[in-house]
Every structure is written in structure tokens, then in C-alpha cells.
Structure 1
């Protein structure tokens, strides 16, 4: 049985389109995927994807379907998109994953892209005064960036603490256990970005 959403045309049918290669390349770059990564996710050979992007071959419908699945877009969009078509992906509040600290005072809304989670994580942080978020060590060389929008935070890493106030950004290594605390009388609101596998700092 064919997977849901698979086109009903002959899988061997070739697609001829002057914009197809540019569309595939634009979508791949929008997802920050290398040719090798797209090849791995789609099951289409890297050399074939490269030829498609350079408009050096007319791919079969089955090939375009596999690429569209890997790029998480409909095959209609791949075939119909013009070069300047915009990319939009909206996530509702209800669909945004939420992490709550053990003390229940800190909430992290995961607003980053799931496709980049292995190297880039992005959170919207809200915390009541006194709330603390304790985190285990991330991968060696990882860097966390905390930008405080309102309130005040204290970040503790390896026994050293630093305060961050509204309008300030603190960057710190997070490859050892670390704690972010909401200090002061006001609730904390911040954006936190974790860059995984960053270059190890001296």
C-alpha cells in the first residue's frame, strides 16, 4: 500500500520544469540542509539532488515525492512554487511545546525549529521571582545566550554567578551543570538560545 499522500501517477513519470531545481535548492537552504543531509533524509542520491538543482536532469515523480517528504512540504508546492515564493510556518500557542521546571516557577516555551534541535535550541523563558531552572551539561563546547527582556536573572555555572538585567545578554558555556534563577521582585521574561557543538573556547 502506498504511503498516505503519495501521488497516484506513474512513479516513473518524469517531471520537466525549469523552476524545479531552483525550488528544491531554495527549500533545502530554507531548512538549512546540506546536500548530504537531504540525501540521507530522502533516500535520493546526493549526486541526483545536485543534478536536479542544476536542472541537469528531469527527475521522476517518485523522486520528487521523496524529496518533498524530506522537506516537509506538499509535492504540489514543490512542483508549483515560483522562485520568489515565500516560506511560512506558523505554530499556534497550543502547539508550542512547554517545559516546566521542578519548582513549577519557570516555563520554557520551545520556539526553535525542531529540525535544528541538534545544533540550535531556542526558548521563550518566563519565571516567577525565586524560580530556578537547573540544567545538566550539554555537549562539550556548547554556548548558551540569555537575553533578558524584563526582570532580572542570575546564571550560575561551575560555581560562578553572573547577573543579567533587562536589555542585557549573557553568553556562557553550558557544557557543565548550570542554573538560571529569577532574582529580584519582578517576574523574569527572557529569550534563551543554546548553540550546540560550538567551537570550544580556550
Structure 2
């Protein structure tokens, strides 16, 4: 893992990229609505000077400020923060920028590699389980499905009353709208990709 300095630098760089996109979006939408800085300031409750700094990429606004501007410009925060849809992009995240979840026993690690824009309906993770590791989860939304594709090692999934194992190159798909458990009962670490579809059609 990178040191704290490298992690901080990564966050600063990400914030600068976000602010750059946000400034362009604010200015584009403000002009589309034919609003002056004073008009937008009055409608949003955000100071005119702050809006001007945002458009010039001179400040990192708080979430509250972003929310006020998104409401005044009649767009969702998700759309507000999104880069322009007609502009191609490549986004690179370092290991330090990738959020990490750890199971209660400390032996299973989930790196959140999914896109924040899809988190409400599609999530995917890079999973590493040490021998004996156990990841227990409560049920998600009704009809949700999880797909566990094993890269190395062997993993066991318990979903409801069903238990199944998978090895390298194999995938387990199972309903995850009930309590489910992923275990590594093998002698070596296991590595897999986990995808959770939160709004899948309800199964018969």
C-alpha cells in the first residue's frame, strides 16, 4: 500500500480533476439557463464569489454547496458530478484510491472496483480470502443476484439452504436477497471477482 503522503497526493489530484469537470458543468448549465452569476447565487444560496471560483477551478466545493447548485440548476448530483457524456475519458485509480472493505474475521478483503455511478444497481469487487476466511452478508433487495468468479483457489458459497463450491475459471451465481456466506475452506488464499446486481428481476 502507498504511504499516507502518496494517498493524500492521489486524493488531491482526484479532487482537482473533479473540480475541473464541475466548474465546466456549472458554467455550461448556467449559460444554458441564461443565468448570471448573481442569478445563480440568488437561486442557490451560494455566494457569487464561490460560484465564480468553482467555475474557474479555484476551489473544492463542499457536498452541501454542490447539492445547492444542483438543485438550482435542476439536475441530480450524480448527473452534476458526471463528466460530459459526449467527451471520452479514461479514469485510472491507484491502489490507495480504491476503497477496501474487510470482513469481521479480517481474513477476507473486498476492494471496491465498481463505478460510483452504478452503485445503486450494480456493484463489483475484487475479493481476496485467506485460508479460513469467511464473509457473511445480510440479504440485499428482493431479486438481487450475486456472481462470484474464482480466479485462483477454491471458494464455497452458502445461500439459503444450498452450498456450492467453485475453483479457478468457475462462476457461482446465487440469489443474495437472503443471508449468504462466502468461505475459503482451502489451504491457500483465494482470489475472485464478485458482481452484485441489486435490481435484478425477481426470480420465479
Q: TM-score range by the shorter chain?
A: 0.5 to 0.7
Structure-2 residue corresponding to 1:108? 110
1:139 aligned counterpart, secondary structure: coil
Q: 1:198 to 1:104 in 2, by over 3 A?
A: same
The match for 1:70 among 80, 87, 93 is: 80
Number of matched pairs:
146
Kindly report structure 1 stretches of 4+ aligned residues shifted beyond 4 Å: 39-42, 66-69
1:10-37 CA distances to partner (integer Å, 9 max, x unpaired)?
Answer: 8438xxxxxxxxxxxxxxxxxxxxxxxx
The match for 1:157 among 159, 167, 170 is: 159
Unpaired segments of 5 or more residues in structure 2?
A: 1-18, 36-69
Matches within 5 A, 1:1-202: 5=23, 6-7=26-27, 11=31, 12=34, 43=74, 70-73=80-83, 86-202=88-204
Give the TM-score of the pair, scaled to structure 1: 0.64
Q: 1:40 to 1:104 in 2, by over 3 A?
A: same
| CA positional deviation for 1:92 | 1.4
1:70 aligned counterpart, secondary structure: helix
In structure 2, what is the Cα distance between the partners aligned to 1:128 and 1:41?
49
Q: 1:43 to 1:149 in 2, by over 3 A?
A: same
1:149 aligned counterpart, secondary structure: strand
1:129 aligned counterpart, secondary structure: coil
Q: 1:187 to 1:198 in 2, by over 3 A?
A: same
Contact 1:156 1:180 (C-alpha < 8 Å) held by counterparts: yes
Unpaired segments of 5 or more residues in structure 1?
A: 14-38, 45-65
| CA positional deviation for 1:7 | 4.1
1:121-144 CA distances to partner (integer Å, 9 max, x unpaired)?
Answer: 100000101100000000000000
1:72-125 CA distances to partner (integer Å, 9 max, x unpaired)?
Answer: 33xxxx5xx9x6x53211111101110000000000000001111110010000
Q: 1:121 to 1:41 in 2, by over 3 A?
A: farther
In structure 2, what is the Cα distance between the partners aligned to 1:179 and 1:134?
4
1:7-65 CA distances to partner (integer Å, 9 max, x unpaired)?
Answer: 49x8438xxxxxxxxxxxxxxxxxxxxxxxxx989615xxxxxxxxxxxxxxxxxxxxx
| CA positional deviation for 1:197 | 1.4
In structure 2, what is the Cα distance between the partners aligned to 1:167 and 1:142?
23
